[in-house]
Each structure stands twice: as C-alpha cells, then as structure tokens.
Amino acid sequence: MDYRDHHVVVTGGTGALGSAVIAALLEQGAICHVPTIDKREVERFPHRSHDRVRLVEISTLADEGEVARFHATVPHLWASIHIAGGFAMAPLAETTKAALMAQLEMNLVSCFLCCAAAVRAMKGGGGRIVNVSARPALEPRLGAGMAAYTVSKAGVAALTEALAQEVAADGILVNAVAPSILDTPANRQAMPKADHALWPKVEEVAATILFLASPENKVTRGAIVPVYGRS
C-alpha cells in the first residue's frame, strides 16, 4: 500500500490502536495529522517527534468550530480515520442523561463532525474515510450493561452506511471496522483473567484499517468489517 505524499487524519491517534495505525501509515510513507486533547497521552506517544507527524492541540472533537479549524490545517486530505471515542459501563437504570450524552458526543458526534469535515475537504478529489464502531453495534445483546456505549457505536455504524451511499459518486469510499475487545495493556489490566490470546491485536486491526483507507481499496464501501480475532 503506497501512501507516499498522502495526507491522512487520525483522530485518537495517540491511543493504543491509533499509535498502531500511525506506525503502519508512517511505514508506508503517509503524512499523519493528529488532533490531540490529552497531554499525558501525547507524552507517551512514540511517534510524536517523527518528521511526518503533525500534532495539533484541540479541546474537543465534538465542536464544529474546533473540527473545522483542525481540518483547515490539513492540505490535500486523502484519508480520515476516526478512532477517537470513549467507553462506559453502567446498567440502563443507573445511566443518567448526562452519561448518555457524553457517550454520544465522544463516539457519534465526534465521528459525524469529522466525517462532514473530511467530505468537504475531499470533494472533487476523492478519498477514504474509515470509522471505528464496535462489536456490540453489530451484536446488540453484547451491549447489556453498556447500553449508552452500544447505542453510540450503533450510530457510527449507521452513519457509515448512509454516508457511504451519499458520497460514492464523489469517489469517497466510506467504511468502518467493528472491533471486539482489543489486546491492550489497559484491557489486560481491567480483565486479568480473560484469555488475552483470543483478543485481536492492535496491529492486526490497524492492517485492516490501512487497507480500507488506502488507494488500493477501489471498490469496498459501506462495510462494517468485524475485526474480532478469535474472540
């Protein structure tokens, strides 16, 4: 996959999956533009000093103005990969409206606004958009005990399919991946007794994202690709 001279946005790029995606993109020659919110994550980000990584500090991805200002810093946008989001567990009866809205803003609203900004930037030149949904979005029964998160990620899946149809004629291919629990240090710490060997590795999920966002993907659109590993 040849990404040389291709400008790519990666939201959530300083997290575990985002870092793996950026490592793969840099290996293929991409120029990566990463909006950053958490300074502690930036300090741990292994690619922060790379000459093809552009870190841009923002306060939130759930604000239209912030998203527009960030995208204005990206020239000739080829691909926009939307990994940023948040997770919360709670029984429905204990989930407040504020908690629901927080999940919707972190997962769905941020993805929606970044998709819209990417489409505006890509009009006339084509491009690729890859969103990150989640397994409970495709299998809602798995969302028991985390209904707010499940609803927000189901919205990302629906957005992906609707937008893929809307912009296909413009040469913009839109897809999403739907991971199960990823093999990350944080997830291992949270679930020490789980069989971690069954979880998909971030590098494996990154490889799927990389293809969907690449010029080599010429026909796949509107897909919500399960990336479950053996779990």
Q: Which residues are catalytic?
A: 149
Residue whose tokens read 């922060």 = 48
What is the DSSP annotation of 203-225?
HHHHHHHHHHTSTT--S--S-EE
Distance CA 184, CA 214 (A): 25
Distance CA 151, CA 88 (A): 12
Strands in the chain per DSSP E: 7-11, 31-36, 53-57, 77-82, 127-132, 172-179, 224-227
Judged by phi (left if over 0) then psi (alpha if -120 to 50, else beta), residue 81 lies in: beta
